[in-house]
Amino acid sequence: DQMNPLLKMKFIGDLTLGGAEATLTLFTAGKVAAALSTKGFWGSLAGDFSANATEGFSAFLDAISPVVYFIIFVLFGIGISLSIYLPFIPFIFWIAAAANWLVSVLVGATGGTLWAATHIGIEGDKGHRSSYGYVFLIDVMIRPMLMVFGFVFASIVIVALGTLLNLMFGSTIANVQANSITGLASVIGILMVYARICTTAVTRVFSLQVTMPDYIISWLGGREAASILGGMAESTKNIFAGFSHGLQRSPGVKFNHKGSNNEQGDGIK
């Protein structure tokens, strides 16, 4: 059935996030069970029957822990960006556009008295120094309406663009992976590409709420408003983009760092 592209993007993010949480839960339960099977009463009971199998299973879980945790953290990053960050993008840009309008109102209230003095002139004065004040007055009055138009236009564009993306992405995957079998790595890579395309497209499109009023006001002879929250969307995205930076400090994930080479080393720096 036809679904709004934003809802479909969030649905894929929910599935990815839920899958990552379920995998983490199952893997943790497996490690706990393997640890308990070698200790206490149940460990001694299991050891009477299959000591080697129990120790081998525990060693296997310890060996694959770094890879499993890495995959889980990648899936968490993809799921959070699609399920949580992406639906907040329109709201983030709306707050940024509202902040620009509030700045214009406060600047107008502060400079209104001084603007009245610009109407004082002499006969034969070429041009008028008060012209920019009228453009600024128009800015304050029509910016909220332009913000609404920007949101409406962005909603229309993202439906068309998102529908095209979802329709063509499956065919693109079929062509890219036609003669290639890379297993789980390809699935994670495809999800990463899809998540980046979705978040970038939604961010660029819904920035119309901020850029559209500035463009139209500049056509009338004014200049762009002071965007005090212009970097808020990027700052929010950096929180999720930096999610993987803490991977090396995550429990259970160990990286070997060699400060110097030795004769028994593998020669890889």
* 221-232 pLDDT tens trace: 766 555 666 666
Greatest Cα pair distance in the chain: 110
Q: Which residue has the tokens 């996030």?
A: 17
pLDDT at 146 over 50: yes
- H/E run at residue 234: helix 232-241
Alpha-carbon Rg for the chain in angstroms: 29
Rounded to the nearest 5 degrees, what angle is found at the Cα of 78, between the Cα atoms of 73 and 81? 120
DSSP 8-state secondary structure symbol assigned to residue 245: G
DSSP 8-state secondary structure symbol assigned to residue 256: -
Q: Lowest mean pLDDT: which of 6-10, 75-79, 137-141, 218-222?
A: 218-222
DSSP 8-state secondary structure symbol assigned to residue 85: I
| Percent composition of the chain: helix, strand, coil (DSSP 3-state, to 5) | 80, 0, 20
pLDDT at 267: 40
pTM score: 0.72
